Amino acid sequence: MPAHPLAGVRMSGARMIMQVLADEGVTAIFGYSGGAILPTYDAVFLYNEECAQAGRPQIPLIVPANEQGAGFMAAGYARASGRVGVCIVTSGPGATNTVTPVRDCMADSVPIVVICGQVPRAAIGTDAFQEAPVPAVMGSVAKHIFLVTEPEKLEATVRTAFEIARTGRPGPVVVDIPKDVQNWEGPFRGEGLLPIPGYRRRLEELTRSSLDAAAAGRFFAMLAEAQRPLIYAGGGVINGNAATALSEFASAFGVPVVTTLMGIGSFDTRAPLALRMLGMHGAAFANYAVDDCDFLIAVGARFDDRVAGVPDKFARNARRIAHLDVDRAEVNKVKRVQWSHVGLVAQALEALTAHGRQVEFRRDFGAWHAELAELKRRYAMNYDRASPLIQPYYVLEELNRHTRGEAIISTGVGQHQMWAAQYCDFAGPRLWLTSGSMGTMGFGLPAAIGAQIAQPKRLVIDIDGDSSIRMNIGELETATTYDLPVKVMVLNNFGDGMVKQWQKLFFKGRLSASDKSLHKKDFIRAAQADGFRYAVRLEHKADVPRVIGEFVRFEGPAFLEVMIDPDAGVYPMVGPGQTYEDMITGEHIPSRTKVDIKTPGPSEMF
């Protein structure tokens, strides 16, 4: 391998950081400056100035309203592209403001690298100005944290951070760099990684863990005995770039697919074998299919509480469960399985498909397909279509008519998030961006900005709620500052809709701290003040088709506030600690059984 063209050139630590980012293929940086990170921000400026003079591509720096926005932009960039997102922030509050996006990325296995400025080495531990114990704070929420105390290891550390972030089960890596290390000067090597033998040994085991013919044979023996097999696909399919392999496997052997919230897009929602989302707010037909299946094939999924609220009764008729995952810790953690493979999910699915074709596996699941078709017909998503009020489901159906499963859609967290998951189509992976495990309000807008930077030719839409968008509403200005054609739709129901739904169901309608009907925020004026030339409030049902069309077609950033029925609920709903048999389907979706609404126990989660 030829030497790096800059090998041996003397440069500052900050310039080394910038060069490693360029070498790693970074195409955008998200961040906010400050005293302890100023040398690196100066290096970004000088690098881009050199690129402009030499006619090389620059690495744009996107400056948000605050560091939490920067972290979520990096996450949106990573989720939409599959590349590592980069966030650069200063010490103290700059670093602590990124704790939530770092934890969010860890929970959803999203690869980002966060570079934090730190006070000079001599000042660490003295409560210096804007000092925070970043290793202690971040060590519990990140995949890995580095504190660079030896300048000679800076280059290798930053390069290693990218390796850890993107490999195995992806996740966020934080690099804490004192200001004097950024100012240090030394020779750039252009190569080299830190010795992390334990991690690399585990990684090598993963990459070498091929699915042999004997294991594949056992899997197909179970499939041969099944009458009603079902694939349960999670976010690991998308993170592992295994969506194509999953589609080929399911199509080759006629196995239907349900997905988790994080797995949306791993299988085309419009495909005949697609049963959409399962779980707490999954489609009724999807949850009933899980109850009915006799062989459950979990792929890149972890049986979390939003899916398997009562593990012993989840997939209760499944005689066997198979599990493919990249993380050994997830196998048999919640639900006992009869067959498993730990390794790269795409390779494992490809091996299964190849083996099945080689042995000419044939199984007629026609009766099961017919049963599922009847479930989809009888228990289809539905709502009060005659209501004079604007129903959020109708708005999203109309939006979906325009996007046809091809747009990138991000969301905040709450009812609007679940409605988007239920009513929008997704033709492939990395089109659905949402905060799953952490459920972080304020995620949608900055994530959409990051996604638009990563995929400039795509239509990117943030479907948000009036409460969720308030969390990071300052990023409206970021969208217009950089003239990003992000579309922002706020479904306004005057409050914390999901909290209100729970309060109505389980707290006798006491809307403690969740009703915002008396709040004074004028979202249209706020959007206009932040530079949105298209800022419209939609208040009449008859105007929905026309306005949605205008909104989608508008060239440039667009903001749409939709005044929806404040009492609209998210159904189906499986209460915490309850089974799919206890699923509440609401007034407009049939239920298999009469369900009495049960108040969650004292230890049950939100």
Which residue do the tokens 């100005």 mark?
129
Tell me, yes or no, if 333 is annotated catalytic: no
**CA–CA distance, 42 with 25 (Å, rounded to integer):** 20
Q: Which of 143, 179, 376, 487 is catalytic?
A: 179
Catalytic residue among 16, 138, 489, 498: 498
Please spell the DSSP secondary structure of 384-425, one letter per residue.
-TT-SSPPHHHHHHHHHHHHTT-SEEEE-SSHHHHHHHHH--
Selecting among 130, 227, 338, 455, the annotated active-site residue is 130
Q: Single out the residue of 434, 496, 425, 427 nearest to residue 465, CA to CA.
A: 496
Beta bridge partners, 515, equal: 495
CA pair distance 364, 254, nearest whole angstrom: 8
Structure tokens at 4: 């790096």
The set of residues, in sequence order, having a beta carbon less than 8 Å from that of 193 and lying 6+ positions away, is 156, 159, 160, 163
The two three-digit tokens of residue 451, written as one number: 């996604």
In whole angstroms, give the CA distance from residue 347 to residue 329.
Answer: 19
Give the H or E element holding residue 74. helix 67-81
Q: Is 214 exposed, middle or buried (0-12, 13-18, 19+ CB in 10 A)?
A: exposed
User: Which one of 45, 49, 50, 129 is the catalytic residue?
Assistant: 129
Amino acid at 20: V
Picking from 392, 397, 393, 368, the residue whose alpha carbon sits closest to that of residue 288 is: 368
| Interatomic CA distance for residues 236 and 266, integer angstroms | 9
Kind and range of the H or E run holding 551: helix 544-553
- In terms of C-beta density within 10 A (0-12 exposed, 13-18 middle, 19 or more buried), how is residue 150 classed? exposed
- φ, ψ for residue 552 (rounded to 5)? -70, -40
Q: Decide: 32 and 98 in contact? Cβ < 8 Å.
A: no
Reply yes or no on whether 73 is catalytic.
Answer: no
CB 280 within 8 A of CB 573: yes
Q: What is the CA radius of gyration of the chain?
A: 25
In the Cβ-directed half-sphere of 93, how many Cα atoms lie within 13 Å? 6
Produce one character per residue of 446-479: b if its CB has 16 or more CB atoms within 10 Å, e if not. Answer: bbbbbbbbbbeebbbbbbbbbbbbbbbbbbbbbb
Question: Does residue 458 contact residue 452 with C-beta atoms inside 8 Å?
Answer: yes
The residue from 24, 67, 131, 330 that is catalytic is 67
Alpha-carbon distance 497 to 413, whole Å? 10
Distance of CA 152 to the CA centre of its chain: 36
Q: Which residues pair with 186 in a beta bridge?
A: 11
Coil, strand, or helix at residue 558? strand
Is the separation of the CB atoms in 482 and 62 below 8 Å? Answer: yes
Say whether 129 is catalytic.
yes
Question: Which tokens belong to 384?
Answer: 């009060």
Active-site residue set:
67, 129-130, 179, 498
